[in-house]
Copies of this chain bind each other. A is one copy, B any other.
Amino acid sequence: MSDVNSECRPTTDRMPGLTATLVFTLGTLGTVATDRFTRALDAFDLGLKPKHVALLVTLGAGAAASQQELAGRMGVAPSLVVSLTDHLEQLGAVQRVRDPQDRRRQVLTLTTVGRRLVERCEAAGRALDDELAAPLTPDQRAALAQALRLLADQVGLP
């Protein structure tokens, strides 16, 4: 029962409206976040898109997995995992290995090169974070990270 939103902004009498909504703000902020991340990836000049990184992260989060399983975890079509993996394999970031016990399956594993690549992305991400979170106090930033992690866990994201 706090009074957070009572008469906050006397200057412009804007209704809080949708902009006070989590889904909307998460959506819009999410697009600018991925836009910036995409540009940082472009600077690598490896032809990588956020989805490639998402695949690497999903792969690193759990045990080595088949492509179907990966598609399930990422919430994308299996055919997309194919093309992402093609590119990542060409870069030497992942390896396709036929499962000897079920030779239909391709088990993907993260190589050392792949792990190093993830680290580069991580460094780029942290740099972007510092720009993005500039107006936040350290406490606010920590609370934000914690809350986002809870949300991500709830929806099954890595």
Contacts and interface: CB of A to CB of B under 8 A. Distances in A.
Interface in A69-113: 75
A13 B19 CA distance: 38
B26 A26 contact: yes
For A23, A54, A75, A145, the residue with the greatest tally of chain B CB atoms inside 10 Å of its CB is: A23
Contacts of A14: 60-61
A44 interface: no
A26 B30 contact: yes
Contacts of A54: 28
A133 to B, nearest CB: 6
A155 B36 CA distance: 11
Interface string A47-77: 0001001100100110000000000000100
Total identical chains: 2
Interface in A2-34: 2, 4-5, 14-15, 17-34
Interface residues of A, number: 63
Interface in A118-158: 118, 121-122, 125-126, 128-129, 132-136, 139-155, 157-158
A147 to B, nearest CB: 4
Nearest to A8: B149
A25 B122 contact: no
Nearest to A26: B33
Given A20-B149, A144-B147, 5 more contacts: A21-B128, A26-B148, A31-B34, A143-B147, A144-B148
